[in-house]
A and B are shown apart, each in its own frame.
Chain A
Amino acid sequence: MTIKVHDDWDLSEKGRKDAARHREKIDEHIRKNIQDVISEESIITKKQGKMVRVPVKGLKDYRFVYGHDGGAQGGVGQGEGDPGDVIARRRKKGDGDRKAGNAPGEDYMETEVDIDYLINIMFEDLGLPYIEDKTKAETLIPVGWKFDSVSKKGIQPRIHKNKTLKETIKRTAMLAAEIMDSTGCPEDDAYIALSQSQGDFEDAVEIIKMDKLDRSINPGDIFIEDDDLRYKQIEEDMVLHSNAVIIAMMDTSGSMDREKKYLARSFLFWLTEFLKKTYNNVQNKFIVHTTDAHVVDEETFFKKGEDGGTMCSSAFDLAGYVIDTEFPTNMWNVYVVYISDGEDWDTAKTTEAIKEVLDRKINMLGYCEIDLEESSYPRGMGYESLLDHIRKEWVFTTSTEEGTNFYKNDEKHFLACTIRNKRHVYPALKHLLFEKRKV
């Protein structure tokens, strides 16, 4: 019948607005499920710059539908083939999560989230505990921008009006005085002459000498010259802050299976990302150990896998050496965080090594022990983990949250906790960063 062409119907405000609303709802969903979201392995492996890809359950429209648990059991398809042919296959996730919540057939979609956004949700106003003002080598922390000084050079938008006018008035007064000197005229005449000559000194003197003074002119006019211009100088506003270094240490021995390593990395990943964001100049040191310890760079730390025996003391010995040579505790706030599964060939020796590190008066020692609920290395009767041993040596106040334990020794600044599954990563982080941030 009628055909109308609307090539300009390109605007789709409603679509965009409602899509944004959906995004908002997903964000809300992330906020509520932060504990599950941050323990997603893909975050660490798929990090690209500041954005991470987070799997979230897509928001669905719920209504009455048929279905067995875990999605459709089958359906009708079309195409050539024979009975028994596999027409589609979905790999199961291999992150060792055997618990519910990852039910097959669940419809996940990935969304890009700013890592800072997640950190903001996670830690809000948490910060490093026991921080002190160290006497030397303080770090300047930028807190913003400020206009502090004035210079003769600069750009138009930053002209300092008051200062410029002051300069002009000063210069005009000097010129007037000089005119009075050279001609002996009264002060008012000198100003009028300057106004009449539009600020030119020679012309003004000429006017007075020739007696061409026009007394109807306002004596107060001033004329700004390039020389008078003053500009604001923009500077970074810095506050002095004590130096801090985090020494992150991880056990990479054979007993740390894939899942434990992943939990350890997840824990330290969020810790370092958080510190990078919150304290601009915090230094990071990464140490991995099996039977002996190495300082490695960040990338290796988060990606490398290793095998071998376990001598936890080696890590603490190396940490002690690093502190002595690079970060003396009289100048630096030193934080040592160690994560392992607690399996150690010589717990007594490790305890000694820990004592030595603590004796250096570091600000905090955090120890996080991974003790999985379903471990591929079950612990036998009478087995004593590193944490068990440590708890005999020092006295801790104990608290329990969501089925995992937290230990705190305020005197020694020694914090410890256990991680028994993915969901414990977040409480453990909060335990270590319990201090309210002062900024």
Chain B
Amino acid sequence: MEKRDLKRLIKLEDRIRQIVTEDLGLKCMPIEWDVIPPTKMLEIMAYRSPTNISSWKFGRDYEKLRTVFDTVDPSLPYEVVINDNPIRAFLMNSNTLAVQALVIAHVYGHGSVFTESRWFQKSRRDIIELLAEANKRFNNYEKMYGIDFVEETIDAGHSIQWHSNPFEEETEDERRARVFEQKKMMNRPDMSEFADIVKSERKKVVNPDNYNTKLWRELKATTPVEPVEDILRYIIDNSRVLDDAQKDILEILRTEGQYYWPVIKTKYLNEGFATYIHQMVMDKLFEEGLLTSAEHGQYNYSNSLVKARNPMTMNPYLVGSEMWKSIRDRWDKGKHGREWDECTMVAEKENWDTKEMRGWEKCLDVMRSYTDWFFMQDFLTVKIVDDCDLYIYQKIETPVSIDYVRTEHSAEQVKDIIISSFAHSGIPKIDVVNGNFGGHGILELVHRYAGVPLDKEYTKRTLRHINRIWGNPVILRTAVEDGDLLYHNKGEETSIEYADGKVPEKSKLRGVKKNPPFGTKKNVPLQIDSPFLPV
């Protein structure tokens, strides 16, 4: 990079920071920038982080990215930002200054979300150093125990690392104590005034002390005492086959999973916000003459690539930023609430303006407290579905080909299907319910089925991974459209069968059962983007 360009870049960065923190009133931790060559950029993208551990998966992705890079429009901005303190962000040295400014403004958008959103407040802000240290240790393990051993553990850890919610902090002991206290309450005699006429569910216990001891003993023998979401935590704490090196590896992967948890849960909100911010900032920079009119053309082109409509997937940059634009507009003009909802006059709605002017305020409130699931529920509108040309497609097999065909769903229906697909951000909810099933040390998992089944091949292979670190067979209860399924993994082999009637509490295996979407018999599962897309 030339000195003159660097000087301009420093000046631009300074101004962008001012616009974001002063004009827009956002808080943002300091950001450190590294300008690097494309190969390094691609490596960081493939590894998700500049110091991540070694794995064939990242090598594969690196190779893929490198092949794609040569065929992709060079004007497509690439960006990596890490939620450390200070925030670390990477710029590609082959970009034009206009694109650099776009990326810097975009990263400041992310930085504000990192700093202000409540969902990022539990994040470790030393993930780069943590992973760098881990990488060194893992390399040593590789030398000591061989690559296959380390790889097997890493693959197993990777397979379930997204199932750790950083906001669930209760330890098993705390949980047991809590459940004990709750159940103890049930043992007190009913003191209400209708106790003599209303049949109480509480048992009359003659000797409370004896009851409590028995209850405690029972709870002690139950593991986990309540279903837990954090599969890795449970395995690390309770597996009998893990040695210290393996525990270290799994612990790190779990931490990494927790680091990405809010990133996955706020993808559309976060990318949309960053895009919305970079558009506002760039407009301002051009207005102030800090960028030339020739650079305006470059920016417009790159920005159109960021917001491209993809026929097979939904673009979070486009849909997200349109949603923020819509929120601001609606709360500026008061287009919300009961009166607005009940108004049926098209003309009146079009000219609706109560001069409420709370749009930006509302945006900040939402940014600070929402995840994608509620963001979509509350703010995805039919108008956005129309404006972004969103549609649902379905796979149709013909004798000669596999076709993906647009369905007949109305915009209203498309909106509802999209919203329902955000229930779990593409990560199925799976709980550990028993660590000693049948007294044989079998790990029992339950998938909270909500209308969309698990992929069989992936599930089988994942169970095999879990088996490796659990050291005993694993069973998984789930369901498909026509009944409950039982996966039974015994090492290499996994059998799948319909659960018979003997399975207790059949109905409880299902979570909230959703009605199938309108117009189709089959539910339409949605391809949720992997959480780490380039750009």
Q: Are A and B physically bound partners?
A: yes
* A1 and B30 contacting across the interface, CB-CB below 8 Å: yes
B304 to chain A, nearest CB (A): 14
Task: Specify which of A9, A58, A60 lies most central, judged by the most chain B CB atoms within 10 Å of its CB.
Answer: A9
| Neighbour of A76 across the interface among B60, B159, B314, B405, CB < 8 A | B314
* B391 and A81 contacting across the interface, CB-CB below 8 Å: yes
Interface-side segment among B51-59, B242-250, B329-337 = B51-59
Chain B residue nearest in CB terms to A8: B37
| Neighbour of A74 across the interface among B34, B36, B163, B525, CB < 8 A | B525
| Set of chain B residues within 8 Å of A87, measured between Cβ atoms | 311-312, 393, 404-406
Quick one: given A66-B452, A87-B312, are A74 and B404 in contact (CB under 8 Å)?
yes
Interface-side segment among A88-96, A131-139, A167-175 = A88-96
| Set of chain B residues within 8 Å of A401, measured between Cβ atoms | none
C-alpha spacing A83/B391, complex, angstroms: 9
| Neighbour of A15 across the interface among B43, B453, B528, CB < 8 A | B43
* A3 and B403 contacting across the interface, CB-CB below 8 Å: no
* B32 and A73 contacting across the interface, CB-CB below 8 Å: no
Quick one: given A64-B462, A76-B392, are A89 and B56 in contact (CB under 8 Å)?
no
* A18 and B312 contacting across the interface, CB-CB below 8 Å: no
Chain A residue nearest in CB terms to B405: A86
| Neighbour of A81 across the interface among B400, B406, B456, CB < 8 A | B406
* A88 and B311 contacting across the interface, CB-CB below 8 Å: yes
Interface residues of A in 57-107 (CB under 8 A from B): 58-69, 71-92, 104-105
* A68 and B428 contacting across the interface, CB-CB below 8 Å: no
| Neighbour of B465 across the interface among A6, A11, A62, CB < 8 A | A62
Q: Does A215 contact B (CB under 8 A)?
A: no
Q: Does B205 contact A (CB under 8 A)?
A: no
* B454 and A66 contacting across the interface, CB-CB below 8 Å: yes
| Set of chain A residues within 8 Å of B86, measured between Cβ atoms | 1
| Set of chain B residues within 8 Å of A77, measured between Cβ atoms | 310-314, 390-393, 406
* A88 and B404 contacting across the interface, CB-CB below 8 Å: yes
* B406 and A78 contacting across the interface, CB-CB below 8 Å: no
Q: Does A2 contact B (CB under 8 A)?
A: yes
Interface-side segment among B6-14, B69-77, B258-266, B366-374 = B6-14
Q: Does B533 contact A (CB under 8 A)?
A: no
| Neighbour of A64 across the interface among B17, B408, B447, CB < 8 A | B447
| Set of chain B residues within 8 Å of A85, measured between Cβ atoms | 405-406
C-alpha spacing A14/B458, complex, angstroms: 28
Quick one: given A14-B43, A18-B54, are A88 and B403 in contact (CB under 8 Å)?
yes
| Set of chain A residues within 8 Å of B162, measured between Cβ atoms | 63
C-alpha spacing A89/B393, complex, angstroms: 12
Interface residues of B in 260-315 (CB under 8 A from A): 309-315
Chain A residue nearest in CB terms to B40: A9
* A6 and B34 contacting across the interface, CB-CB below 8 Å: yes
* B401 and A89 contacting across the interface, CB-CB below 8 Å: yes
Interface residues of A in 3-52 (CB under 8 A from B): 3-7, 9-12, 14-22, 24-25
* B406 and A61 contacting across the interface, CB-CB below 8 Å: no
Chain A residue nearest in CB terms to B456: A69
B38 to chain A, nearest CB (A): 9
C-alpha spacing A72/B525, complex, angstroms: 7
| Set of chain B residues within 8 Å of A21, measured between Cβ atoms | 56, 59, 147
C-alpha spacing A89/B158, complex, angstroms: 33
C-alpha spacing A302/B235, complex, angstroms: 56
Interface residues of B in 326-347 (CB under 8 A from A): none
| Set of chain A residues within 8 Å of B198, measured between Cβ atoms | none
Chain A residue nearest in CB terms to B34: A4
Chain A residue nearest in CB terms to B160: A63
Query: Number of residues in B with C-beta < 8 Å to the partner?
Result: 93
* A19 and B62 contacting across the interface, CB-CB below 8 Å: yes
B182 to chain A, nearest CB (A): 30
| Neighbour of B389 across the interface among A16, A78, A89, CB < 8 A | A78
- The interface residues of chain B, by DSSP majority, are classed as mixed
* B60 and A19 contacting across the interface, CB-CB below 8 Å: yes
Quick one: given A7-B93, A67-B455, are A75 and B526 in contact (CB under 8 Å)?
yes
Quick one: given A69-B456, A83-B406, are A63 and B159 in contact (CB under 8 Å)?
yes
A6 to chain B, nearest CB (A): 5
* B428 and A18 contacting across the interface, CB-CB below 8 Å: no
* B33 and A2 contacting across the interface, CB-CB below 8 Å: yes
B267 to chain A, nearest CB (A): 14
C-alpha spacing A274/B21, complex, angstroms: 70
* A19 and B59 contacting across the interface, CB-CB below 8 Å: yes
C-alpha spacing A67/B522, complex, angstroms: 12
B108 to chain A, nearest CB (A): 11
Quick one: given A78-B391, A84-B405, A86-B405, are A3 and B13 in contact (CB under 8 Å)?
yes
C-alpha spacing A12/B37, complex, angstroms: 11
Q: Does B183 contact A (CB under 8 A)?
A: no
| Set of chain A residues within 8 Å of B59, measured between Cβ atoms | 15-22
Quick one: given A72-B395, A92-B401, are A14 and B47 in contact (CB under 8 Å)?
yes
Binary contact track B520-534/A, C-beta < 8 Å → 1, others 0: 001011111000000
C-alpha spacing A9/B50, complex, angstroms: 12
| Set of chain A residues within 8 Å of B522, measured between Cβ atoms | 73
C-alpha spacing A326/B282, complex, angstroms: 81
| Neighbour of B407 across the interface among A19, A83, A86, A92, CB < 8 A | A83
Quick one: given A64-B459, A89-B402, are A3 and B453 in contact (CB under 8 Å)?
no
| Set of chain B residues within 8 Å of A12, measured between Cβ atoms | 39-40, 42-43, 62
* B9 and A89 contacting across the interface, CB-CB below 8 Å: no
| Neighbour of A4 across the interface among B33, B55, B447, CB < 8 A | B33
Q: Does B35 contact A (CB under 8 A)?
A: yes
Quick one: given A14-B47, A63-B458, A78-B390, are A86 and B309 in contact (CB under 8 Å)?
no
* B33 and A78 contacting across the interface, CB-CB below 8 Å: no
Q: Does B394 contact A (CB under 8 A)?
A: yes
A249 to chain B, nearest CB (A): 34
Q: Does B113 contact A (CB under 8 A)?
A: no
* B10 and A18 contacting across the interface, CB-CB below 8 Å: no
Binary contact track B434-461/A, C-beta < 8 Å → 1, others 0: 0000000000000100001111111101
Q: Does B46 contact A (CB under 8 A)?
A: yes
A266 to chain B, nearest CB (A): 24
Task: Specify which of A7, A21, A24, A104 lies most central, judged by the most chain B CB atoms within 10 Å of its CB.
Answer: A21
Q: Does B133 contact A (CB under 8 A)?
A: no
B36 to chain A, nearest CB (A): 5
B2 to chain A, nearest CB (A): 10
Chain A residue nearest in CB terms to B155: A61
| Set of chain B residues within 8 Å of A7, measured between Cβ atoms | 1, 35-37, 93
Chain A residue nearest in CB terms to B523: A73
Q: Does B426 contact A (CB under 8 A)?
A: yes
C-alpha spacing A220/B91, complex, angstroms: 74
Q: Could you list 8 examples of A-B contacts with CB < 8 Å?
A: A1-B30, A12-B62, A62-B458, A63-B158, A64-B160, A65-B426, A67-B454, A72-B395
For the complex of A and B, the 9 pairs showing the least CB-CB separation, nearest first, are A18-B59, A67-B455, A62-B461, A19-B59, A78-B309, A75-B527, A15-B62, A74-B394, A88-B404
Contact surface of B with A, Cβ cutoff 8 Å: 1, 6, 9-10, 13, 17, 30-37, 39-40, 42-43, 46-47, 54-60, 62-63, 86, 91, 93, 147, 155, 158-160, 162-163, 309-315, 318, 388-395, 397, 399-409, 414, 417-418, 421, 426-428, 430, 447, 452-459, 461-462, 465, 522, 524-528
| A-B contact sample (4 more), CB < 8 A, given A6-B36, A63-B160 | A15-B63, A59-B60, A67-B453, A67-B454
